[in-house]
Amino acid sequence: MKTVACIVQPGFAPFEFGLACEAFGLDRSDEGIPNFDFRIVAPDPGPVPANMGFSINVDADLAFADEADLVVITPIPREAWDRIDERVIGVVQRAVARGAWVLTVCSGSFVVAAAGVLNGRRATTHWRYADTMAAMYPEIDVDPNVLYVQDGRIITSAGTAAGLDACLHLLRIELGAEMTNTIARRMVVPPQRDGGQAQFIAKPLPESSSLSLAPVAEWMLENLTLDLSVDQLAHRAHMSPRTFARRFKADYGTTPAAWLGRQRIIQAQRLLEQTDLGLDAIAAECGFGSAAVLRQNFGRMLALTPTAYRARFTCTAPAAEAVA
């Protein structure tokens, strides 16, 4: 992925637009991250009003989007959902036809839905709009309970910060785990939020009492090779298994097993990128037990074999030094 077109339309949301600029538009070459040819485009170049009382001036029309490797669709206002610009619909249809990535943030999913390319696919949008989207487009399997969904090369995401999770997910696919972690550290955000986490977390900012789970989570990361059960983790947290499972999901947005599985995959990605260890050794290091179990979990989560991932993302010496 080398070229990125971010489409803005009248009434766009500045924060979600900024996410795309932050994820794909910054120069991070000093940290060994390749730059993208990132351009902001609009159906009608010139001043494009945001939904916050100001405008941005966009110089480029949609022509660049027809050749970009990634097309990002920023949110559009509710009053535009049933009258999507046909020129933008055409861009989306052609992007999907040629195999480019398409990523939407929040209500930008309505643009892709109107293009017909989500029919028969799973997708998401902000939970407040999910019922409307499902009613307008019954051919789409709308899931309101996740942060983002990847179906083929189309990624739809929920509201606001979930769009950043979707961007990091795509960067992880294209650049690998370590470079994406470097980007996330620079953004000062966690790189590991899974798409399957709930949009609404019961305690988005946990009370200080719930921070008692942080040491347990850190201990889990330090002991990925162990067979960790909820009973064992609950005992370490001085809670009953039921209370621990409930508190963990409230604080981390997913089950202990799902969170642990994701951390093991992330560790496997790092080892595949930075070492020449065999798959059996990596499986043992990450707590999968065998190469076969590693392949099964790796493929299910990343739609890629460990061998193919290593071939694509093995760090060269300069890149590895930059990441370090």
- Does the pLDDT at position 6 exceed 60? yes
When pLDDT is cut at 50, 70 and 90, the band that residue 192 belongs to is: low
- Does the pLDDT at position 316 exceed 60? no
CB 253 within 8 A of CB 148: no
Label residue 233 exposed, middle or buried (CB < 10 Å: 0-12, 13-18, 19+): buried
- In CATH, which of 1.25.40.10, 3.30.1490.190, 1.10.10.60, 2.40.10.10 is domain 258-323? 1.10.10.60
pLDDT at residue 25 in the model? 95
* CA-based torsion, 253, 257, 261, 267: positive or negative: positive
- Does the pLDDT at position 9 exceed 50? yes
Asked if CATH classification 3.40.50.1820 holds for the domain at 3-186, the reply, yes or no, is: no
Per-residue pLDDT tens digits for 65-77: 999 999 999 999 9
d(CA 79, CA 77): 6
The pLDDT mean for the chain works out to 87
When pLDDT is cut at 50, 70 and 90, the band that residue 206 belongs to is: very low
HSE-CB of 264 using CA atoms within 13 angstroms:
29
Per-residue pLDDT tens digits for 246-293: 888 877 778 899 889 988 998 998 899 888 899 999 999 999 989 999
Which of 273, 285, 280, 279 shows the shortest CA–CA distance to 309? 273
Which of 273, 276, 279 shows the shortest CA–CA distance to 314? 273
Per-residue pLDDT tens digits for 28-67: 999 899 999 999 999 999 999 999 999 999 999 999 999 9
pLDDT at residue 194 in the model? 55
pLDDT at residue 274 in the model? 85
CB 149 within 8 A of CB 164: no
Per-residue pLDDT tens digits for 100-133: 999 999 999 999 999 999 999 999 999 899 999 9
For the entire predicted model, the pTM comes to: 0.69
Could you state, in order of their start, the residue ranges of all structural domains in the chain? 3-186, 208-253, 258-323
Q: Name residue, tokens 């921070």.
A: 211
Mean pLDDT of 225-247: 92
